[in-house]
Amino acid sequence: MAENTQTTQAPSSRPAAPAGGFRGPRTGAPRSGGRPGGPGGDRRGGPRKGGRPERVKPEFEQKTLSIRRVTRVVSGGRRFSFSVVLAIGDKRGTMGIGIGKAGDTTLAIQKAYNDAKKNIIKVKLNDKGTIGHDVDAKYKSARVMLMPNTGRGVVVGSAMRVVVELGGLTDITGRVMSGSKNKLNIAQATIKALSTFAMPKKARSEATPAVIKE
């Protein structure tokens, strides 16, 4: 008769893999900071400290009318700089034009912003958000005309539109009467025309309420 032989294997020290594959030991300790890089934690896995600082709203909105590279010839050669024309306004009747020149565009824009704040005018608008009557002005080679309209919106082009929108005028028609294409002259002529309705500095300061100290 054939003998029944059974072979037995020695028990292995390695644990058997689960049905889904061997994943290694798991601990029951919860994560305090969430997933690294995910919500509730930073890249290191710790809690997120603080957030983004809130951006401070500027006093005036600004738009660049032109940026030119200026060359000056000196005894040692040529020196290059940038000339910036900037328009600012708060869209509530206040507007201004400034010029800045520097070797860097960022510094030139900052100089133009500071210059525009020195040349600010405050225009008194009526209930419809426009001027009271037709007005025209001439600055160097540029001549412009501004007219109020009813419900047609801002019908203005060129650099006049930038100044008018920053000033907060909503229903106005403008036209450049001369052939000048210089944006600085057109913007200055627009400011000169709107200066007809500008409030004097004394009345502007009186319109600002004073702070009462108890």
Question: Among 11-15, 37-41, 120-124, 171-175, which is the least confidently predicted range?
Answer: 37-41
Taking the C-alpha atoms of residue 144 and residue 192, their distance in angstroms, rounded to an integer, is 10
Percent of the chain past pLDDT 70, that is, above it, reads 69
Rounded to whole angstroms, the Cα distance separating 157 from 105 reads 26
pTM of the full structure: 0.67
What is the pLDDT confidence band of residue 56, given thresholds at 50, 70 and 90? confident
CA–CA distance, 120 with 77 (Å, rounded to integer): 38
Tell me which H or E stretch contains 79.
strand 77-89
Burial of 102 (0-12, 13-18, 19+ CB in 10 A): middle
Q: Residues 34-49: what's their mean pLDDT?
A: 52
Q: Is 170 left (phi over 0), alpha (psi -120 to 50) or beta?
A: alpha
Cβ contact 88:96 at 8 Å: yes
Domains of the chain: 61-121 (3.30.160.20), 123-202 (3.30.230.10)
Q: What does DSSP assign to residue 198? A: B
Strands 172-176 and 154-155, sheet pairing: parallel
Cα(195)–Cα(91) distance, integer angstroms: 16
The predicted-structure confidence for 131-186, as pLDDT tens digits, reads as follows: 989 999 999 999 999 999 988 899 998 899 999 999 999 999 999 999 889 999 99
